[in-house]
Amino acid sequence: MLHKKLVKFDNDFLWGASTSAYQVEGANLVDGKGPSCQDVKEVPEGTSDLTVCADHYHHFKEDIALMAEMGFKTYRFSISWSRVLPQGTGKINPKGIEFYNQLIDECLKYNIIPFVTMFHFDMPAALDEKGGWSCPESVEWFLEYARVLFKNFGDRVKYWLTINEQNMLTLAGQVIGALHLPKGCTNEMKEIYQQNHYMLVAQAKVMSLCHDMNPDAKIGPALNISLVYAASCRPEDVIAAQNFNAIRNWLYLDASVYGVYNNLVWAYLQENDACPEFADGDAEALKNGHPDFIGFNYYNTATCQESDGTETDNPVADQQTTGGAAGLYRAYRNEYLEMTEFGWEIDPVGFRGTIREIYSRYRLPMIVCENGIGAYDQLVDGRVHDSYRIQYLREHIEQIQLAISDGCEMMGYCPWSAIDLISTHEGMVKRYGFIYVDREEFDLKQLKRYRKDSFYWYKKVIATHGRDL
């Protein structure tokens, strides 16, 4: 361990935690909500559907009271597009607006700042049927939805996140059931990157809209950023790591912050006849959208070695597991890192490296929107002894403090997740929360809430401004 003079966490550092609507709310077709792509997708075998989740929709007051008990300064949640606009555009669902008004007000009652994600993997099914992000109209759809949000909630919501993990939607969208290819699509890569382009343009326009409609609000992307290591100091491995860094990370941040395509990725797309088409005004829109901060999710790093040319183009296996691309890179199992029970590598030091790298490239304040460990938690006599979670979070918070001490500007930390919820593709058994929700994959029981050991630990961390870890 190197000796370093540590800078303290600011007193206004935003300690909190995150959830997303489709994974936590339940009530998925209740009170006028339209289905989203998540409600109509084929549920992975052995996992529950999204009808109930943690039933946050009906328990939000109890849940926010528990967050307040932990001392949260902020709560990052997402708004379900199809709860607000059941068809995705057009008629507004008053009950949907009412629900989010209550949720926001409940946070404010405890001085918890609502940090709102506009879109978290849940395209309204009605728009998905029309082609979802593959339609050029998707840019206008998203703008219409954004207008509804800024108009109804902008008086109280001052922090917005645009699209959760657009990079994972693009690279692993089919694994998480959130991105579809139109029937008869012949150039899959071009189609995917065209969808990605519409999202980039939509995001840029929404950032401009936010600044026009709510000048005192701040808005930023919420990407999944992981520093990519080279498997060795062989120059070819270093080039491979640069390639995957560009494909996985920098494409999205370069476009969000600088309004340009990353040159390495553009060359890769050119080689594969997969460059997106630009409509009139797209380049300008990208240049005009400016984030106020960078939101990012971090679970682990990735490691790459030189491609041997045999990789089938499968850039990632899931959000945190690297695949490969012929001629560019192949995944490498980093022997220095341990893994979670679900096979994701654990790398706290890489968190510091990731924060330093983002800051040196973009010089914007950052907030961690997700970070955490999925585990098979056990409820025994009303207690959950999740020492592994405490250890994981402690080691990551230490690295944030080191990164702050390196001169990086950090606004806050919102681990995943505030409360147990349904995983993207591994069901209810993969738990992340500070609050245990008593249900099983298929047996819903009473959905009673229990404070895990990590709940008490995080409460102490927040109370001491990160001094007592």
The piece of 30-38, 129-137, 382-390, 419-427 that touches ligand BG6 (CB under 6 A) is 419-427
Our finding on whether 386 is near ligand BG6 (CB under 6 A) is no
| DSSP string across 81-105 | HHHHSTTSSSS--HHHHHHHHHHHH
> Which of 53, 424, 452, 457 is close enough to bind ligand BG6 by CB under 6 A?
424
Tokens of 350: 């890489």
Residue 69's Cβ-count burial label (10 Å; 0-12, 13-18, 19+) is middle
Tokens of 240: 């491979």
**Binders in 155-174 for ligand BG6, by CB under 6 A:** 164-165, 168
Our finding on whether 25 is near ligand BG6 (CB under 6 A) is no
Our finding on whether 80 is near ligand BG6 (CB under 6 A) is no
Residue whose CB is less far from ligand BG6, 361 or 425: 425
Contact 304/322 with Cβ under 8 angstroms?
Answer: yes
Indicate which residue of 165, 306, 345, 357 is catalytic.
165
CB of 122 to ligand BG6, least distance (A): 10
Indicate which residue of 106, 306, 357, 370 is catalytic.
370
Residue whose CB is less far from ligand BG6, 307 or 340: 340
Sheet with strand 302-305: strands edge to edge: 228-230, 302-305, 329-331, 321-325, 314-318
Contact 188/44 with Cβ under 8 angstroms?
Answer: no
Residue whose CB is less far from ligand BG6, 172 or 358: 172
Closest CA to 306 of 321, 325, 319, 320: 325
> Which of 319, 322, 399, 401 is close enough to bind ligand BG6 by CB under 6 A?
319
Tokens of 398: 């230490």
What is the spatial distance between Cα 68 and Cα 63, in angstroms, rounded to a whole number? Answer: 9
> Which of 25, 345, 347, 370 is close enough to bind ligand BG6 by CB under 6 A?
370
The piece of 5-13, 33-41, 392-400, 423-431 that touches ligand BG6 (CB under 6 A) is 423-431
Contacts of residue 171, Cβ cutoff 8 Å, sequence gap at least 6: 247, 248, 315, 316
**Binders in 193-252 for ligand BG6, by CB under 6 A:** 224
CB of 446 to ligand BG6, least distance (A): 24
Tokens of 463: 């109370």
Our finding on whether 20 is near ligand BG6 (CB under 6 A) is yes
Catalytic, 441? Answer: no
Give the residue nearest to ligand BG6 (CB).
Answer: 423
φ, ψ at 223 (rounded to 5°): -95, 165
3-state helix, strand, coil in the chain (%, to 5): 40, 20, 45
Residue whose CB is less far from ligand BG6, 214 or 320: 320
Residue 81's Cβ-count burial label (10 Å; 0-12, 13-18, 19+) is buried
Q: One-letter amino acid identity for 331?
A: A
What is the spatial distance between Cα 312 and Cα 333, in angstroms, rounded to a whole number? Answer: 18
φ, ψ at 452 (rounded to 5°): -80, 170
Tokens of 356: 């330093």
Catalytic, 395? Answer: no
Closest CA to 412 of 356, 343, 366, 458: 366
> Which of 48, 134, 297, 354 is close enough to bind ligand BG6 by CB under 6 A?
297
Our finding on whether 317 is near ligand BG6 (CB under 6 A) is no
Bridge partners (DSSP) of residue 228 are 302
The piece of 81-89, 181-189, 246-254, 420-428 that touches ligand BG6 (CB under 6 A) is 420-428
Residue whose CB is less far from ligand BG6, 139 or 161: 161
CB of 227 to ligand BG6, least distance (A): 16
Our finding on whether 425 is near ligand BG6 (CB under 6 A) is yes
Q: How many residues bind ligand BG6 (CB under 6 A)?
A: 16
CB of 372 to ligand BG6, least distance (A): 7
Q: Which residue has the tokens 């065209």?
A: 194
CB of 168 to ligand BG6, least distance (A): 6
CB of 7 to ligand BG6, least distance (A): 29
Contact set with ligand BG6 (CB under 6 A): 20, 23, 164-165, 168, 224, 297, 319, 370, 374, 416, 423-426, 430
Question: Catalytic positions, please?
Answer: 165, 370
